[in-house]
Amino acid sequence: MNLLLFGAPGSGKGTQAERLRDRLSLQHVSTGDLLRDAVARGTELGKKVEGIMAAGELVSDEIVLELIREAVENVRADDTKKGWILDGYPRTMVQAKELNGLLTDIGEAIDCVVVLEVDRDAVISRLSSRRSCPECKAVYNVLNKPPAVEGKCDKCGGGLVHRKDDQPETIANRLDVFQDQTAPILDFYEDKVALHRIDGNMPVDDVTAAIERQVQ
């Protein structure tokens, strides 16, 4: 099963993707995580995208297409995976069309699109209080899901960070970019694949259950 997970920044895509990955034996592919890894490792790619990401802008379509091509090919070569969940890709109409081209070339298809719908105010509050572990990617919230020891990841002991692009001045820009460039893509998918809109304001377990009901 190949699935696209859509939603504004802070809508819970990463959290839900991790859960679905384990339950459905899918590979979770997050372009944001791949890019953050490149920044953390200080690679050429990382140096190129660091400033763009910190400002909440999108990196170039070419860069993310290459990341996705490699990730999708790796999943094809891995017998333990039954498909993939793309989280944070595509984010522009160009990317949506490039993804279709790539999948047609390799004889694969998108089985369904899941859209997490969350109120703008809720998203701003979630992102402002989100803390992330750069080591194992675990996500916390200082208001309603704090780590046992302040600033330390429960899972791996790594130091938690408040991502540069989760600072208030950047959040608004990321939400605008989502509204202007990413939301219109849904029209493109509406008549091509099964598209499920889920209320992402619900408690996290309810969101997972609602997604599972739709995709199984």
Write out the residues near ligand AMP by the rule CB under 6 A: 9, 31-32, 35, 52-53, 56-59, 64, 88-89, 91, 95, 165, 174
Least Å distance, CB 95 to ligand AMP, is: 6
The DSSP 8-state label assigned to residue 181 in this structure reads: I
Q: Is the peptide bond before 168 cis (omega within 30 degrees of 0)?
A: no
Q: Which is nearer to ligand AMP, 59 or 71 (CB)?
A: 59
Catalytic residue of the set 69, 97, 163, 164 = 163
Residue 195 burial (CB count, 10 A): 17
Whether residue 69 lies in the annotated active site: no
The one catalytic residue in 13, 19, 36, 131 is 13
Catalytic residue of the set 91, 126, 131, 137: 91
Query: What is the smallest separation between the CB atom of 36 and ligand AMP, expressed in angstroms?
Result: 7
What is the smallest separation between the CB atom of 216 and ligand AMP, expressed in angstroms?
Answer: 25
Q: How far is the CB of 38 from ligand AMP (least distance, A)?
A: 10
Q: Is 197 a catalytic residue?
A: no
Instruction: Please indicate whether residue 91 is annotated as part of the active site.
Output: yes
Kindly provide the b/e burial profile for residues 200-212, where b requires at least 16 CB atoms within 10 angstroms of the residue's own CB: beeeeeebbebbe
Transcribe 108-162 into DSSP letters. Answer: ----EEEEEE--HHHHHHHHHTEEE-TTT--EEETTTB--SSTTB-TTT-PBPB-
Would you state the structure tokens that stand for residue 183, as one six-digit string?
Answer: 């939301």
Active-site positions read 13, 91, 130, 163, 174
